[in-house]
Structure 1
């Protein structure tokens, strides 16, 4: 990594000193990869190293939600998560300082199976209602929450509808919106014989947010936590490259999925594709339209 200096270092230094009660004085500041939403780097003093996320002052609520999500997952006793060291903001910057972990991607069948066991444990952490006590974020997009007892209504009103509305505001109208209007009315048909429990979800579980530590501990980060259908995490895990096949086999062995999962998987995938459309632009439009159209076609066959 390339050493660097940064104008926010004095603020970070003071925050870490106060949070840890130490005399931390950084001698290393090095850029880190993986920061498509915020600036990321590590800082250290030769004894301790920390992973830092830095954004504008407007990002304070985003970092607060991330810290809360990491805490919720850690409290479940399921995954290893980086500990939150400090968070805060000044007139220019918002920041989140995390424990620095040496991480690597899941590689072996054994690591995939172990990750599945920890995910089952996370999903067996149940809430009283679907949702979360307040809104948070999916990537940089706002994620509406609140709490409710009807999962299909929650997913329509708090997940899909806001994404379709954002897409329309960004100029993605036409056939996507026509398919979206049809789909929003039909979603309850996917839940006539399926009643999910309100499981604690990571919420943004693609392979880039999963790893193992140097000691082999399954680890997750960058969550968008809420209580919802565990199938939603499984569906997200299959997007953008997926996990080792042993992960899926081990999860299904520990907690089998409902026979209609493959169809609902399309619904849950659509949420994330729409979000990518809204965050990153037109390259995701074709897939968003394909998923919306396919779901409508399959739900039309159900009615017939």
Structure 2
């Protein structure tokens, strides 16, 4: 953490208001998180890390702004935290966001359903004005891992090369090889060729820790790893690492039903996240990734 004075000076220069208090907020696994109270009555949320990780916060800020635009285009009521400051406070990288009061409203099932419907409207709204390609204007990050986003015309080739292929090359560079990986990469474009995916703006890292309900009702998504891809990747990841309530999926399907065969694509899309966790954290994620590759080759032969 930088000196309190350096941080306070940066906050005042950025917001025009004096910092009254800075209290730690739990939950983050990459950055430190803080609740800031300013002299002008504002409450802000701040993420901080060492200066070298400023690009990670820059990519997050850009992703949040893109999601907010898609929410507006789709007429969605999803709450997207909006950046209000980004830079270096001494040796510390800082991202400022508006404060959201998270909590559980009285009817949480209805709120999760509304969050699912809001995601569907966001996905649909993001299709306005797209050029048909998959990818993003810059590489960004999936968690703290690198995420490559070179534009591609084919969803199957993009997913094979920029998602699974990138993770498998990262693994190979650290001496890890997985049986069947090369065969899998060859087959993925064929498997996805009949699936007519549209290049929606996707959150990209939509596990249950990156979404929440608001005390006043409604819901929010945050900590994105955005790109233009098949909307199903968000719904697939929402089933991983604990998963979302059933009402979330019902709300999505009621607003914009998924295409036939979507259940079969869940494991394929989630292999990307298993591989990313294996590369970042090791351990049992390697065994899970290897088992997933074996199961996919068996099922999709």
TM-score normalized by the length of structure 2:
0.91
Asked if 1:73 is matched to 2:60, the reply is: no
Measured in 2, the distance between the counterparts of 1:258 and 1:280 equals 34
Deviation at 1:254, TM superposition (A): 2.1
Residue 276 (structure 1) aligns with: 277
CA RMSD of aligned residues (A): 1.8
- 2:154 is aligned to 150
* SS class of match (2:180): helix
Structure-2 residue corresponding to 1:49: 43
| Contact 2:206-2:237 at 8 Å conserved across structures | yes
Per-residue deviation, 1:43: 2.3
Q: State whether residues 8 and 93 of structure 1, in contact with CA within 8 Å, keep that contact through their aligned partners in structure 2.
A: no
Quick one: distance in 1 between partners of 2:66 and 2:7?
Answer: 24
The corresponding residue for 1:139 is 143
Q: Is the 8 A contact 2:104 2:215 kept in 1?
A: no
2:25 matched to 1:32?
yes
Distance apart, 1:172 and its partner CA = 2.4
Q: CA shift at 1:14, angstroms? A: 2.9
- Pick closer, same or farther for the CA change 1:89–1:7 going to 2, 3 Å: closer
Tell me, yes or no, if the aligned pair for 1:207 and 1:242 is still in contact at 8 Å. yes
Does residue 122 of the first structure (1) align with residue 122 of the second (2)? yes
Question: How far apart are 1:241 and its partner, in Å?
Answer: 1.2
Quote the residue 1:247 is aligned against. 248
**2:53 aligned partner:** 59
Correspondence list, 1:1-304, <5 A: 7-22=2-17, 24-26=18-20, 28-45=21-38, 47-76=41-70, 77=72, 78=76, 79-89=78-88, 92-104=91-103, 108-124=108-124, 125-126=126-127, 127-128=130-131, 129-173=133-177, 176=178, 178-300=179-301
TM-score normalized with structure 1 length: 0.90
Q: Distance in 1 between matches of 2:169 and 2:3?
A: 36
Q: CA deviation at 1:206?
A: 0.8
Q: Deviations over 1:67-123 (max 9, x none)?
A: 001111111223211221211125622111111211136872201110111101111
Q: CA deviation at 1:35?
A: 1.8
Displacement of 1:192 in angstroms is 2.9
Distance across 1 between alignment mates of 2:63 and 2:104: 21
Distance verdict in 2 for CA 1:238–1:272, change over 3 Å = same
Shift of 1:284: 0.8
The C-alpha deviation readout for 1:248-298, integer Å capped at 9, x for no partner, is: 122122222222112211111000011111111122112111111111111
Alpha-carbon separation, structure 2, partners of 1:12 and 1:67:
19
